[in-house]
Chain A
């Protein structure tokens, strides 16, 4: 095991906090407002509750992983080779599809906010190269970048939201649950694709340095990230009301109200530029995880990140050249909801049990000298 991939629990927490907002405060608010209007924040809260439960189970599994077994080793020992490959395929598709949606919203954001036009291929190449370089340095370097930038990134998000936060009237969220509890719950399930950011932890199970405290640092960061996302979503819906479904990029729209006097400049451009670093970090992490999936799927034992694998992943990202992401994504999510739910919501619940079994098996093999 290479030391450069070792990460601390606190670093996992910081990364989770940074990547949680990502698409959730970019394109998700408009999507969900189309379905449930001003109750969209409730959908978000419910989804975060599911995530909180699953994350707790994943952390529990990490705690039980005394033998530092890799995620794929645990799967091999419990559901066999075929089962583990199926899980890895699902994860790979999930990471790639989320990468595409993330990059697509990022692409739109650049074009709209900074009036920078480019083609899709040239947009993804630099991000792919950054991801490749970061992964070459090891996951620890990604985590360190997160640690270094967490304060200014969180500050930039807060700076964007702070001013409009005092302009809106929160009583306009009444009546709570107007869209109907059934519909809100249904939407939280059907939009689960946008959640479960903690899934990257699976691919670090063997590299996490477990200290005494494992739950509190990660869960605190998760709750802070969830609070930022929910409040941002509330502010967006309160500001835009019936226009929310048409306001495609929430964070940009909120940014317009982040200064009281617009003739004195665009403060939002500065803060958005800083915040976008967290989106780049998310891209890097998802690239890293997709790469791990391929590596394990084909039984590769690479000391370093393989350029061809990376090129392959980058090649899958050219899908938006042939199909419209806005049109295809809803259908794609509809068809993949069950397999994705398996790895997003069922797998975490089983992980502590499977980790315990595989650790015992590993220990007994060691004891038997196998």
Chain B
């Protein structure tokens, strides 16, 4: 290769490298406001969208302590997000959003299919994000940052993802909820969050508000429209037949002592029986509630000396059956199916129209509860 050719090749490679480097436009993180949580409220004919955001590059921001709450109005969530971009001067990035909250007025009075469709069809939005609704407005909820001294979105996500299933509260992610609203009975649930103020006894900051979130009940929806609320007592019954949810407690009299028994692990089977009804078989593994965490291994915990009498176990079984039956009656009353009874029919008959249209009241249910001591 002569010198001229070599120079030509070097120049060509340089030009190509430049063109390629310039053409790949990554979005700089400094030009973004990263949304951690999104709240949607009804504001007259419009929507009020509240976002808890982090803006990298603005000083020494830290997650939680320095997250900001931004609100914007629009006819749709997409429009409000665009307005938010205008307000902040940075691209509103939803790729790291972990929580979506619907305010009370919005979820009770409006069909929110548009919002759900916008979120679920956006490739960059995570379907694994938690979704819930709240009493009052979502904007108020997100503004409780000061009371919690940390990020509302991260606190709620931690509660819904990690703690809920250990304290007998079923929880949902966006994907499960979206599927529930369009498959079989088209009914699903969202956790209902409410903020409870607590008394501030801090003498150094007497004016600082304090409180916590309560999330012990759920709201039921059919095709993205509100159906009814399931209160905390009924939610306990729902938790007993929800897979992977443990932590239900039962108080029983054992001799002279009041014993608190807790569900450590369980197995739930929903299947069709010979009469074409549904059999729900629940096997609860329980132990005495203790202040330590010896039983934290769940089904893999080593066997220990049984501390629960047969009488107590019978009592637990009776209480569990009552709680489940109470919930199932409520489910039939409002004709929804968040236990996936329809799934049992689908597994046998496929997604036939009659399976989807089957009313919950027409499904005969046989309940079998078995209680085992750890």
**Partner-B contacts on A (CB < 8 A):** 37, 112, 114-119, 122, 125-126, 129, 171-172, 174-175, 178, 239-243, 246, 248-249, 252-253, 256-257, 260-263
B124 touches A178 (CB 8 A): no
CA distance A240 to B128 in the complex (A): 11
B26 touches A114 (CB 8 A): yes
Residue of A nearest to B21 (CB): A122
Closest 4 A/B residue pairs (Cβ): A122-B23, A174-B347, A178-B350, A112-B123
CA distance A117 to B27 in the complex (A): 8
Q: In the assembled complex, which residues on chain B have CB atoms less than 8 Å from the CB atom of A118?
A: 23-25
How many interface residues does B have (CB within 8 Å)?
35
Other-chain residue from A122, A174, A261 in contact with B19 (beta carbon distance below 8 A) = A122
A-B contacts at CB below 8 angstroms, number: 74
B98 touches A122 (CB 8 A): no
Q: In the assembled complex, which residues on chain B have CB atoms less than 8 Å from the CB atom of A175?
A: 346-350
- Can you list 13 pairs linking A and B with CB atoms under 8 Å apart? A117-B27, A122-B19, A125-B16, A129-B16, A175-B346, A175-B347, A175-B350, A240-B179, A241-B179, A243-B178, A243-B182, A256-B126, A263-B157
B19 touches A117 (CB 8 A): no
Most buried by B among A129, A249, A263: A263
B289: Cβ under 8 A from any A Cβ: no
* A112-B124, A118-B24, A261-B161 as given contacts; A242 in contact with B182, CB under 8 Å: yes
Chain A nearest CB from B352 CB (Å) reads 9
Q: In the assembled complex, which residues on chain A have CB atoms less than 8 Å from the CB atom of B347?
A: 171-172, 174-175
* A118-B25, A172-B343 as given contacts; A241 in contact with B183, CB under 8 Å: yes
Q: In the assembled complex, which residues on chain A have CB atoms less than 8 Å from the CB atom of B158?
A: 263
Chain B nearest CB from A235 CB (Å) reads 13
A243 touches B162 (CB 8 A): no
| Per-residue A-contact encoding for B172-214, CB less than 8 Å = 1, 0 else | 0001001100110000000000000000000000000000000
B129: Cβ under 8 A from any A Cβ: yes
Chain A nearest CB from B57 CB (Å) reads 17
Chain A nearest CB from B229 CB (Å) reads 26
B23 touches A119 (CB 8 A): yes
Q: In the assembled complex, which residues on chain B have CB atoms less than 8 Å from the CB atom of A239?
A: 175
CA distance A260 to B319 in the complex (A): 33
* A122-B23, A243-B120, A262-B126 as given contacts; A115 in contact with B95, CB under 8 Å: yes
Q: In the assembled complex, which residues on chain B have CB atoms less than 8 Å from the CB atom of A257?
A: 128
Chain B nearest CB from A279 CB (Å) reads 17
CA distance A262 to B349 in the complex (A): 37
